């Protein structure tokens, strides 16, 4: 029988296969490249597909130069809060 789990806001962790020793080092190096942005510094630009009022569109942050932007990340649709 599949093991039942209790759903919460946090996505259940993915049980990834243990990487080989040298691959593990690569993984660590890759993850270390994620750094927090800094206040007072430029926001990283991006272009991404989006859903906007009935349409699928591509949106770039750079389109909004000249306007204030609030960029909100969240763990996922239907995550309760």
Partner 1 sequence: MEVLACSVDSVFVHKMWNDHEISKMINQDIPYAMLSDQDGSIGKSYGIYDSDSGVETRGRFIIDPDGIIQGFEVLTAPVGRNVSESLRQIQAFQLVRQTDGLEATPSGWKPGKKTLKPGPDLVGNVWKVWKVSEAFDD
Contact status: 28 vs partner 1 (CB under 8 A): no
Structure tokens at 24: 């593990």
Tracing tokens 């660590």 back to the chain, one arrives at: 28
Contact status: 81 vs partner 1 (CB under 8 A): yes
Contact status: 26 vs partner 1 (CB under 8 A): no
Nearer to partner 1, 1 or 10 (CB): 10
Q: How many residues bind partner 1 (CB under 8 A)?
A: 51
Burial class (CB in 10 A: 0-12, 13-18, 19+), 39: exposed
Structure tokens at 31: 């993850």
Nearer to partner 1, 4 or 65 (CB): 65
Residue 58 beta carbon to partner 1: minimum distance, rounded to whole angstroms: 10
């Amino acid at each position: 029988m599949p093991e039942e789990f209790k759903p919460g806001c946090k996505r259940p962790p993915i049980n990834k296969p243990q990487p080989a020793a040298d691959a593990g080092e690569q993984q660590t190096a890759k993850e270390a490249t994620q750094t927090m942005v800094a206040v007072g510094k430029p926001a990283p630009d991006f272009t991404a597909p989006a859903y906007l009022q009935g349409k699928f569109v591509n949106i770039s942050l750079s389109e909004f130069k000249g306007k204030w932007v609030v960029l909100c990340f969240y763990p996922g649709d239907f995550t309760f809060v």
